Structures are given as structure tokens and as C-alpha cells.
Structure 1
């Protein structure tokens, strides 16, 4: 296990991967079939992983990789039984990238002994690099970040997310719709904006006040959870309990806000 993190080496590698896609942004043909979509998605994963592995293997020669499969529900319920591994969402918001619209990032998480230890979220279009290390705070482009200090819900921006549900869960859409209605009734502005991890980093940076999502979507959350947590945000499930790996909902905000959602 590599105890010391060469932070700059990790950030430089993630930036290299993101900038590769920035150069190619809007160069693809927008897919019109599932076959085209998954073929382009596979190409994104392969190119991104090649850059990340080439850059990080010298620093972490014995650390294995677990690439994200958002449809692997069982795999999202608990960490792997390994002392250390990388978990990579090669492109969070890939659908936006393929559709030639903003809202895509490169996310990387280092898991140690079943806990979030280090994570990076890079937004190439904005040239913003968020990162956090367990117990060491959270940063954006080298500057510490912290959640919003707002106290008036009418001034707050709440966001909701909707994850892929495979197979479909009976009644889930209705439950999700009711939750969005509650958000609309409680907060001044409600929006839906991907990608997931970047929204959580925005909560940590005070740009978004509340993040809310129903359903199991662990892989999309992990990088942003560590950044938001280290910035000082509360990481809960929608019942108001402390979020734990395997929970099928997530509510993140400045302390004292998200916990009041169902009250």
C-alpha cells in the first residue's frame, strides 16, 4: 500500500485524461442508436483508463483498478474486500459529452480499507479541479472550499438527480416525483443538473445548497461524497441518517439543511 499520496502526480494525470477529451469535444457524431451510444461510451472508457493507468501505475504499482459499471447493483452495495484500490468513473456525464453539451467530468477515487481516502473531480470545460484527502480538507484549484452559509430556504438552490434503475422498480417514478414536489415546496430554486459528482463538489464549494437523490447510485456519488464531506457538508440519506455505503438514497447539504427535508 502506498501510504503517502503524491497529490500533484494524481491531479496531473487526471487533468491529462480530461484535457484529452476536451480536445475531442464535439468531434463525435451524436449517437442515434443504442449500438452507436455504447460503442462510443466504450471508446471513452478505454481512452480514459489508458491515460490514468499510464500516469498512476508508476506511483501505485500494486494498486488494482475497479472500473465503474453503473448497472452493477450488487457491486455498489459494499466496497471490495481489498486493502486499497482505485475506482474510476471514466466520464461522469458521458451522455452530455456525446450530445455535445456541458456537464461532464473525470472522477477518480482511492478506496483504502473500505473507506473513501482520496478523490478527484476534474471539469475540463471550466478548468476546475476538485479534490479531497481523508482528514485533510477539500480544495478547488488549490484553494480550500466550504459549504454555503445560507439560512433562508427561499434563497437556497436545491438539485435532484435520477439514477438508472435496472431493472425498473415499481412505483419508483411516483416516489421520485413526490420528492421533487417536496423540494419545490421547501426551497426557492430547484434544478436538475448533471453530473452527480460535480454537483456534490458544488455543495462542498457553496454553489449548490442541497443535493437529493433516491435510488442506489453509489459509484456516481463516491468522489463527490468525499469532497463534500471534507469541505464540511453533511452526508445523509433522505431519512436524515448518516449515509453509509449501500444506502439507496443521498442527501447532501451544509450541516442542518438536508436533515430537515422530510420534516
Structure 2
């Protein structure tokens, strides 16, 4: 395990892979059945991981790779027992990509000793690359990002997300409804956007004021969590506790915004 990492090399590698998909965006027909959809999503996973492995082999010759399978519930409950490894959310928002809709990114996170060490999220359509290194801040295209300074809920944008299946034991449907209602009653604008990690990066960049999601969705969150955290956001669960790997909900916002929101419940 090398102590220093080549951030420029990692970011360039992710960007190059993402741009391959940009060049092919909307060129293929939209899948018309589940079998075709799953096949195309699997192809995306394999291509992204194999491409990044090759590009980063010289820098990380022995670092293992894990595809961030959001349907693998058990694997999302705790870090893998390895000193260092990559988690690749090959394409966050792959369904949007295949449906010819904006809102898809390439996400990559480096885990060291069970903790987030580095992450990058690349949005090819906007040519925006968000990244963060533990303890060194968060950036977008090499410019440091910061949280929104808003104080009025009426001018804030809150987003909610949900997974494709209930992976927890927290009565997902029963919790999601009241959560959305509470957002609508308190915030000026409420949205559901799609790519989880990019939304968290947007919190870090001051574009979104609060992100909330019930249920377990670790792999979708990891890359964005580090970026939001390094930009200064609070990383909590929906009951206000500190988020940890395996938590079954996520709430991310500026400290004051999170505290005020929690008081509305």
C-alpha cells in the first residue's frame, strides 16, 4: 500500500472512461425488456471496471477491486476485510444512461483500513469532476467547493432518494412517505434527481441544501459521502446520529440545516 496516491492519474483515468460513454450516449436503442436492460447494465459494469483496472494498474498493481452492487445487501453492511481496495460504482444512474436521460456518473472510491480515503465522481455531460481526499478538502475540476450559506428553508432545495428494494429492517415504505411529506411542508423546493453520489457532491458544492434517504444504500453513497464531508457537511442518519458504514439511512446537510430539519420531525 503506497502512502501517497497519484490524484491526477486517478482523476484522468475516470474522466477518460466517462468520456467513452459520452461519445456513445444515445447511440444505442433503449432496452425494451428486463433481460436486455440487465445485460446492458452488466456490460457497463464490466467495461468500466476493466478499463479503470488497466489505466490504474501501474499505480495500484495489487489493490483489489469491488463492483459496488447495490443489490448486495450483506456486503453493504460493513467494509471488506482488506487493508486497501477500490469500490467502483461503475455507472451511478445507469438506467438514465440507457434511457437517454441526463443524470449518470462514473464513481470510484478508495477504501483504506475500513475508511474512505479518496473518492471521485465524474459527470461527463457537464464535464464536472468532483473529488476528495480524506482530510484535504473537496474539489470540482480542481476548484475547492463549499456548502451553501442559506439559512431560510423557503429558498433551499432538498432532495430525497430511495433504493430499488427494501434492504433494511426499518419499514421503508412506511418511513419514506412521512419523510417526503415533511420535506414538502418545510422546504421551498423538493426534488428526486437520480444519481445518488452526484447529489451528495452537489451538497458539498452548495447546489443542494439537504439530502435524505431511508434504507441501506452504502455503495451508492460512499463516493459522495467523502466529497460532502470534506466540503464541511454533516454526515448523519435520519434520526440525527452520526452515520457509519452499514447505517440504514442517510441525512447530509450543513450542520445548522440538519439540526433545524431534525427538529421538524
Look up the SS of the partner of 1:256 in the other structure. Answer: helix
Equivalent residue number for residue 130 of structure 1: 130
Contact 1:71–1:166 (8 Å) recurs in 2? no
Rounded Cα–Cα distance in structure 1 between residues aligned with 2:170 and 2:206: 35
Deviations 1:10-62 (A, max 9, x none): 00100011001001100121111110000100111111112100111110011
Equivalent residue number for residue 144 of structure 1: 144
Deviation at 1:173, TM superposition (A): 1.8
Contact 2:204–2:229 (8 Å) recurs in 1? yes
Equivalent residue number for residue 106 of structure 2: 106
Contact 2:130–2:227 (8 Å) recurs in 1? yes
- Equivalent pairs counted in the alignment come to 263
Rounded Cα–Cα distance in structure 2 between residues aligned with 1:127 and 1:254: 26
Contact 2:168–2:215 (8 Å) recurs in 1? no
Look up the SS of the partner of 1:257 in the other structure. Answer: helix
Say yes or no: does 1:209 pair with 2:240. no
Contact 1:238–1:261 (8 Å) recurs in 2? no
Deviation at 1:194, TM superposition (A): 1.3
Look up the SS of the partner of 1:100 in the other structure. Answer: coil
Look up the SS of the partner of 1:146 in the other structure. Answer: coil
Look up the SS of the partner of 1:223 in the other structure. Answer: helix
Equivalent residue number for residue 59 of structure 1: 59
Equivalent residue number for residue 155 of structure 1: 155
Look up the SS of the partner of 1:261 in the other structure. Answer: helix
Deviations 1:91-127 (A, max 9, x none): 0000000000100000000000000000000000000
Deviations 1:58-93 (A, max 9, x none): 100111101111111110010001110000000000
TM-score in terms of structure 2 length: 0.97
* More deviation, 23-32/104-113: 23-32
The alignment's C-alpha RMSD in Å is: 1.3
Say yes or no: does 1:251 pair with 2:251. yes
Equivalent residue number for residue 191 of structure 1: 191
Rounded Cα–Cα distance in structure 1 between residues aligned with 2:101 and 2:59: 34
Runs of 4+ in structure 1 deviating by more than 2 angstroms, as ranges, are 166-172, 259-262
Equivalent residue number for residue 75 of structure 1: 75
Equivalent residue number for residue 232 of structure 2: 232
Distance change >3 Å, CA 46–CA 76, structure 1 → 2: same
Contact 1:240–1:260 (8 Å) recurs in 2? no
Look up the SS of the partner of 1:44 in the other structure. Answer: helix
Deviation at 1:256, TM superposition (A): 1.8
Equivalent residue number for residue 175 of structure 1: 175
Rounded Cα–Cα distance in structure 1 between residues aligned with 2:16 and 2:38: 24
Rounded Cα–Cα distance in structure 2 between residues aligned with 1:48 and 1:66: 12
Q: Which runs of 5+ in 1 are unaligned?
A: none
Equivalent residue number for residue 11 of structure 1: 11
Deviation at 1:174, TM superposition (A): 2.9
